[in-house]
Amino acid sequence: MDTEELRATQAPLKEQYRERPESALVTLHADAELDGLGVSCKVETGRAVVEAGLHPATGGDGTLACSGDMLLEALAACAGVTLRAVATSLGLEVRGGRVRAEGDLDFRGTLAVAKDAPVGFRAIRLSFVLDTDASEDELATLKKLTERYCVVFQTLRTPPEFAVTLSAN
């Protein structure tokens, strides 16, 4: 997809969202199935079912997906797609490259070993190595706009309102 195709595809959506802002509000969802007695669940991804379980640092055997890894994978995917869309919009050629999301966890927190250890990531780093001839100024703009428009990045940076419910049937 080139710049003009992207603009042509997005133009009617942008116009619709300007005229009817409520139409831009979409509820995404993810479902997981708790079946059996193991410490795992099956997550439907839309393309496949992923079985998630404990990370080896919390007692898992490493055969199941770790939700922390899945969070970083979602960040890398979102950032990669966003970077591609922004580059296309700006008319910048990105022939290829790599996106890496990595995060630091102190598993003492989630295992209740140390109350002062956080449950969750202490730090997350996102990096890109691109095959492009873009100038330093163009790369700075690409980075800034990728950060600005990446849904997962912005959600992690500024957490949304959160609600949890639990019920039995």
Q: Is a pLDDT exceeding 90 seen at residue 47?
A: no
pLDDT band at 36 (very low <50, low <70, confident <90, very high): confident
**Size (the chain), residues:** 169
Place of tokens 């250890």: 117
Q: Which domain holds residue 121?
A: 3-157
pLDDT given for residue 37 in this prediction? 67
Name the DSSP class of 116.
T
Domains in the chain, number: 1
In a domain, 167, yes or no: no
In a domain, 23, yes or no: yes
Strands (E), 58-160: 94-105, 121-132
Stretch 120-127: mean pLDDT: 96
In a domain, 123, yes or no: yes
Q: What is the CATH number of the domain that holds 76?
A: 3.30.300.20
Predicted structure pTM score: 0.90
CA dihedral in degrees (143, 146, 152, 156; nearest 10)? Answer: 40
> Which two three-digit tokens encode residue 3?
């710049």
> Which two three-digit tokens encode residue 71?
């969070």
In a domain, 162, yes or no: no
